């Protein structure tokens, strides 16, 4: 069993336990894991619309002098693509690491064809390389004190990666 497979199993169990706990406490049902909910093409398409909305936000934030928020828009563009893929395969996720593991698991199972670089965009890395880690970029500009993402090449790479993952996700969702 792969690490992704084990983590997906853990995420499914986590969500089930949290749902049961909510029921037992008569609270609103919520979870921070993965639920197997059945095919949700309508939800997948809505996540794609949200991803495209976030892609547009990258430029809009820059135009109004809030380019630091472009990093978050890029992150959530990629993340909503992953949520679209999850919905296409019948999963609901409320946890970013569970979502990433699910995407890696679906790739391992040959259910999706997605380049590893897109998965790595949302993962933490200690390696200084040419890879754009969108999660690190988002945290740097969301929690840091910078008010402008002035690096034009980095912004262009972010937009191009987002456009590419949206196109790949559309192919997966519409199959």
The CATH number linked to 31 is 1.20.120.330
Quick check: 148 pLDDT over 60?
A: yes
In a 3-state reduction of DSSP, which class is residue 128?
coil
Domain of residue 78 covers 3-173
Note the pLDDT tens digit of each residue in 6-45: 988 989 988 888 888 878 888 887 878 898 998 899 999 9
Angstrom distances, CA of residue 36 to CA of 12, 91, 122: 7, 5, 22
Least confident among 37-46, 114-123, 147-156: 147-156
Helix (H) or strand (E) holding 42: helix 41-63
Question: Mean per-residue pLDDT for 126-132?
Answer: 49
Quick check: 105 pLDDT over 90?
A: yes
Band (127; pLDDT cuts 50, 70, 90) = very low
Question: Mean per-residue pLDDT for 68-95?
Answer: 92
In a 3-state reduction of DSSP, which class is residue 92?
strand
Band (66; pLDDT cuts 50, 70, 90) = confident
Q: Cα angle vertex 54, ends 51, 55, to 5°?
A: 85
> Where are the extended beta strands (E) located within 11-157?
34-36, 91-93
CB 12 within 8 A of CB 36: yes
Q: Which residues have CB under 8 Å from 48's CB, separation 6+?
A: 80, 81, 84, 166, 169, 170, 173
> What pLDDT score does 136 carry?
67
Q: Which residues have CB under 8 Å from 164's CB, separation 6+?
A: 118
Angstrom distances, CA of residue 41 to CA of 13, 48, 74, 106, 141: 24, 10, 23, 17, 33
What's the chain's average pLDDT? 85
Least confident among 54-58, 115-119, 123-127: 123-127
Counting the structural domains of the chain, the total is 1
CB 67 within 8 A of CB 155: yes
- Kindly state the percentage of the chain with pLDDT values over 70: 83
How many other C-beta atoms can be found within 10 angstroms of the C-beta atom of residue 30? Answer: 11
Quick check: 103 pLDDT over 60?
A: yes
């Amino acid at each position: 069993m792969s690490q992704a497979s084990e983590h997906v199993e853990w995420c499914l169990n986590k969500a089930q336990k949290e749902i049961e706990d909510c029921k037992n406490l008569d609270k609103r049902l919520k979870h921070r894991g993965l639920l197997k909910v059945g095919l949700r093409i309508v939800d997948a398409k809505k996540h794609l619309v949200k991803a495209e909305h976030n892609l547009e936000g990258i430029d809009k934030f820059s135009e109004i002098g809030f380019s630091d928020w472009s990093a978050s828009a890029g992150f959530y563009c990629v993340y909503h693509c992953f949520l679209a893929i999850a919905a296409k395969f019948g999963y609901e996720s409320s946890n970013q690491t569970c979502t990433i593991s699910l995407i890696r698991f679906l790739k391992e199972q040959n259910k999706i064809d997605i380049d590893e670089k897109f998965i790595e965009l949302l993962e933490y890395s200690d390696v200084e390389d040419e890879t754009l880690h969108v999660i690190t970029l988002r945290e740097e500009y969301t929690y840091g004190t910078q008010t402008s993402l002035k690096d034009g090449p980095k912004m262009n790479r972010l937009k191009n990666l987002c456009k590419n993952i949206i196109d790949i996700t559309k192919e997966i969702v519409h199959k």
